[in-house]
Amino acid sequence: MKHLFNKVATRIHAGWHRLHSKKASTPKGYEVLRDGSLNKSTAFTKEERDEQGLRGLLPYRVNTQEDQEQLVLKQLRQKTTDIEKYIYLSNLQERDERLFYSTALKNIEEIMPLIYTPTVGEACKQFAHIFRDPKGLYITPDDKGKIRSILDNWPEKDVRAIVVTDGQRILGLGDLGANGMGIPIGKLSLYTVCGGVDPQKCMPVMFDIGTNNDAIRNDPLYLGYPQKRLQGKEYFDLMKEFVEAVNDKYPKALIQFEDFFATNAYKLLDTYRDKTLCFNDDIQGTAAVVLSGVYAAMRTTHEDFKDQRFVFLGAGSASIGIANLTVKALEDAGLSNEEARDRIWLIDSKGLITQDRGDLEPQELPYAKKHAPTTLPDLIKEVQPQVLIGATGSAGAFTQETVETMSAVNERPVIFALSNPTSQAECTAEQAYTWSKGKALFASGSPFDPVTHDGITSIPGQGNNAYIFPGVALGAISCDAKRVTEEMFLASAKTLANMVTEDDLKSGTLYPPLKDIRSVSANIAEAVMKVAAQQGLSGIKLPKDIPSFIAKQMYDPSYPSSAANSNKTAAKQTPKP
């Protein structure tokens, strides 16, 4: 057995690092069972067992994939904590990739919160302590001048989707350093589950340039670069080397920047958005999903979008991103840029964003008002916004007074408590419905259970970026897009809103059910491809039947139905020496 494992090399599947044979011949026997992209375990047929050297290595019974899915769910539900469930699913993805994705896709409402928010937050906090196998690519300051050669260590030759973080602003949890690798791993799992992006074309990257979190850095089990954070020119020079190395090695790869500190997030996006295929999900994906929720809410309030006024609590990357896309949407509705910006008010931890403050970041300046300092409830009374958006990372930031004031100036106040994980939400769904006496149209970043108030049950909408980024990525990858633009995110928001049914709205939710996520992603991908073509950014001529074309691009987690197909897949997936 030791000899076998010495013959294998690290390989990525579904964004998770695993072992895979580097032999040119078709894998046989235990090589198949130890490769998560090929393993079907007890679902191998008798014929496949004979052809692939598996006879005697498996129990007698041949299971269907559906049998195995039921066993997975049974074992999963026996776990008593979410972090145990996360670890179990991590191990499942490692040993049987298709079974992991088929189970997740068919049970997405149960499993998505376990592989991403809110459980991924706890997984990141404990990352070094629950570490099993290396997953993904790590870049450190010691790698300066060597990043391109490091990419050559990655066995996949056609990476198309990269999620990279530096771990400085993980969800609402702050600086977790290299422990933040759980985010790219989880995001890329959703690329495949929700968007059908081929997992073998995904690569999670930890831009591990240190951490200023003393407790994490001094943890004797911490696995990351054990220094304080690299900053300034050295930081951006290292990132430049990484981006250029990716563009050289994988010229069609999409880079998603994830969970960067706001200032760095905007500088990186502004630097590379017109130079390479990239986007920032915290800025642009969040913006699109929130804007979609507002569009859907207008069908309940029966108001015109161009008449809406917005107050934001929090002025970080998420809030500014939402504000920027909202301005574009208001311009699209007929307002001038100045009129659109006048409808947006932001409050950060130091108070209202005003012109006389000397501590504003460049991205905040367009929204600075000529106004005296004021409190959130007083601002709501004065501005009378229809939409209140929280992206603070501060639990309880929406007080009872805040929600009651929103309800006093609106028949149906639209309230978004976006901070993740659930424990960091600005208010709970129950608080929003109770304090508003059932009037609120509420959405949150992480899931909340339905709430019954005065005999009426409301289903809180989850403004989860998973509604947006997998479809955007699928569309951009499918048409070999040269860039990702704001117009693509605006089209995505409109597409998502159009998929909200009247029954959804009657139940109180502002988003389609998660069980429809693949259809959502396919429709968004089509919208993105059309915008890419209109803007001259598509690398292909659009097919006449775009939906059928997109369907063919989407990863199917079903097992190959015959030994012949399985062998063809194995031969295709075996890297050349």
Whether the bond between 421 and the residue before it is cis, its omega within 30 degrees of 0, is yes
Do 341 and 452 belong together in one domain? yes
More confident residue, 563 or 559: 559
pLDDT at 6: 37
| Structure tokens that stand for 140 in this block | 């450190």
Which of 463, 478, 502 is at the close of a domain? 463
Average pLDDT over residues 414-441: 94
CATH number at residue 30: 1.20.1370.30
The predicted-structure confidence for 455-469, as pLDDT tens digits, reads as follows 999 999 999 999 999
Of 197, 14, 33, 15, nearest to 98 by C-alpha is 14
Average pLDDT over residues 290-305: 97
Please report, for residues 346, 384, 390, the alpha-carbon distance to residue 341 in angstroms, rounded to integers and kept in the order given.
11, 16, 18
| DSSP code, position 102 | H
Do 289 and 410 belong together in one domain? yes
Of 410, 387, 344, nearest to 510 by C-alpha is 387
pLDDT at 423: 85
Do 447 and 566 belong together in one domain? no
| Structure tokens that stand for 257 in this block | 């920047």
Do 430 and 563 belong together in one domain? no
- The answer to whether 15 and 163 have CB atoms below 8 angstroms apart is yes
What does the mean pLDDT of the chain come to? Answer: 92
Q: Is the pLDDT of residue 12 over 60?
A: no
Q: Is the pLDDT of residue 393 over 90?
A: no
Do 451 and 565 belong together in one domain? no
pLDDT at 26: 83
For residue 554, being part of any structural domain is answered with no
Do 427 and 564 belong together in one domain? no
Query: How many residues in the chain?
Result: 577
Task: With cut-offs at 50, 70 and 90, classify the pLDDT of residue 21.
Answer: very low
Residue 519 belongs to what H/E stretch?
helix 517-534
Do 295 and 399 belong together in one domain? yes
Q: Which of 86, 116, 272, 467 is catalytic?
A: 116
Do 408 and 291 belong together in one domain? yes
In the three-class reduction of DSSP (H, G, I as helix; E, B as strand; rest coil), residue 336 is classed as coil
Q: Is the pLDDT of residue 489 over 50?
A: yes
Q: Is the pLDDT of residue 366 over 50?
A: yes
In the chain, how many domains are there? 2
For residue 357, being part of any structural domain is answered with yes
For residue 458, being part of any structural domain is answered with yes
More confident residue, 20 or 415: 415
Indicate if the alpha-carbon torsion angle 527, 531, 536, 537 is positive or negative.
negative
Q: How far apart are CA 12 and CA 121, in angstroms?
A: 23
Domain encompassing residue 72: 2-105+559-573
pLDDT at 25: 67
7 included as an active-site residue: no
Q: Give residues with Cβ within 8 angstroms of 81, minimum separation 6.
A: none
Task: With cut-offs at 50, 70 and 90, classify the pLDDT of residue 133.
Answer: confident
Whether the bond between 118 and the residue before it is cis, its omega within 30 degrees of 0, is yes
pLDDT at 324: 97
Q: What percent of the chain has pLDDT over 70?
A: 93
Q: Which of 40, 187, 201, 267 is catalytic?
A: 187
CATH number at residue 374: 3.40.50.720
Which of 411, 438, 463 is at the close of a domain? 463
For residue 23, being part of any structural domain is answered with yes
pLDDT at 556: 97
For residue 551, being part of any structural domain is answered with no
The predicted-structure confidence for 320-365, as pLDDT tens digits, reads as follows 999 999 999 999 999 999 999 999 999 999 999 999 998 999 999 9
Average pLDDT over residues 417-422: 87
Do 430 and 569 belong together in one domain? no
| DSSP code, position 445 | S
Average pLDDT over residues 468-484: 98
Task: With cut-offs at 50, 70 and 90, classify the pLDDT of residue 3.
Answer: very low
Please report, for residues 23, 279, 338, the alpha-carbon distance to residue 415 in angstroms, rounded to integers and kept in the order given.
56, 26, 24
116 included as an active-site residue: yes
Average pLDDT over residues 284-292: 97
For residue 85, being part of any structural domain is answered with yes
Model-level pTM? Answer: 0.90
Do 304 and 441 belong together in one domain? yes
Burial annotation 103-117 (CB, 10 A radius, 16+ → b, else e): bbbebbeebbbbbbb
Q: Is the pLDDT of residue 566 over 50?
A: no
pLDDT at 16: 39
Q: Is the pLDDT of residue 568 over 60?
A: no
Which of 415, 447, 463 is at the close of a domain? 463
Indicate if the alpha-carbon torsion angle 157, 205, 517, 251 is positive or negative.
negative
For residue 377, being part of any structural domain is answered with yes
For residue 271, being part of any structural domain is answered with no
Average pLDDT over residues 358-381: 94
The predicted-structure confidence for 502-550, as pLDDT tens digits, reads as follows 999 999 999 999 999 999 999 999 999 999 999 999 999 999 999 999 9
The predicted-structure confidence for 218-276, as pLDDT tens digits, reads as follows 999 999 999 999 999 999 999 999 999 999 999 999 999 999 998 999 999 999 999 99
pLDDT at 562: 52
